[in-house]
Amino acid sequence: NAGVMQNPRHLVRRRGQEARLRCSPMKGHSHVYWYRQLPEEGLKFMVYLQKENIIDESGMPKERFSAEFPKEGPSILRIQQVVRGDSAAYFCASSQDRSSYNSPLHFGNGTRLTVT
Amino acid sequence: GNSVTQMEGPVTLSEEAFLTINCTYTATGYPSLFWYVQYPGEGLQLLLKATKADDKGSNKGFEATYRKETTSFHLEKGSVQVSDSAVYFCALEGAGNMLTFGGGTRLMVKP
């Protein structure tokens, strides 16, 4: 049973380009969460999605960032017009149900974005 | 709002030493508490969890007890190994089942 798959593992973008990060949740999981980890810091919640719906985007910057989880295919985190401050590791996690205690999050290995 | 505070690292220990990583939290109500571990180049893995006061979570020789009176969930292990070298994150589950993470504590175990 494959775990949470994220790609690419490493992504380099120049300032002003777009970054597109993909996440395929574990089989049977319909809840997806995106977190950002800045260097030497903890994880910060960005957005929580279910199939075709954004449930909570309170941690997402209001501009340039968007996320989707279509009916078919992976969840996508899109960052437009990247800036150096966007350089970070972006982690996707999935769960079977919403409750984190009874349905723990399973994390992918992350996408490390570097903006030059 | 909810917050989690961990001791700053890195924590450097010799193999077989005793480990304590402190974690305290601020939250409304009685959240579930978690410890996650992140090995180099990987994502986070759930290490252990506890849901109510005095619960003890344990896994792979690690333990943590939910202390309501001190709002703490300190991670302990009696004898660390080199393979335990990783970053450890304390987290709580708040409203809407969202996880709030601490800043992480890097553990380095030397042979």
The pLDDT of residue A95: 87
Which tens digits make up the pLDDT trace of A39-61? 777 789 999 999 889 999 999 99
Contact flag B46-A101 (C-beta cutoff 8 Å): no
Burial grade of A6 (CB within 10 A; 0-12, 13-18, 19 or more)? buried
Contact flag B42-A98 (C-beta cutoff 8 Å): no
Residue A83 pLDDT greater than 90, yes or no:
yes
Instruction: Return the amino acid letter for A24.
Output: S
Q: Does A48 touch chain B (CB under 8 A)?
A: yes
Contact flag B98-A4 (C-beta cutoff 8 Å): no
Average pLDDT over every residue of A16-26: 97
Residue A99 pLDDT greater than 70, yes or no:
no
Which tens digits make up the pLDDT trace of B51-105? 989 999 999 999 999 999 999 999 999 999 999 999 999 999 876 667 889 989 9
Q: Would you place residue A101 in the very low, low, confident or very high pLDDT band (cuts 50, 70, 90)?
A: low
Question: How far apart are the C-alpha atoms of A80 and B92, rounded to whole Å?
Answer: 31
Q: Does B89 touch chain A (CB under 8 A)?
A: yes
The pLDDT of residue B96: 65
Closest residue in A to B40 (Cα–Cα): A109
Closest residue in B to A42 (Cα–Cα): B103
Question: How far apart are the C-alpha atoms of A87 and A76, rounded to whole Å?
Answer: 17
Nearest to B43 among A98, A99, A110 (CB): A110
Instruction: Residue A83: name the closest of A38, A11, A17, A20 by CA.
Output: A17
Which tens digits make up the pLDDT trace of B9-39? 899 999 999 999 999 999 988 899 999 999 9
Average predicted confidence (pLDDT) for chain A? 91
The pLDDT of residue B98: 78
The pLDDT of residue B94: 77
HEC profile of B65-104:
ECECCCCECCEEECCCCHHHCEEEEEEEECHHHCEEECCC
Q: Which range among A64-78, A82-96, B56-70, B85-99 shows the weakest confidence by mean pLDDT? A: B85-99
Question: How far apart are the C-alpha atoms of A108 and A91, rounded to whole Å?
Answer: 6
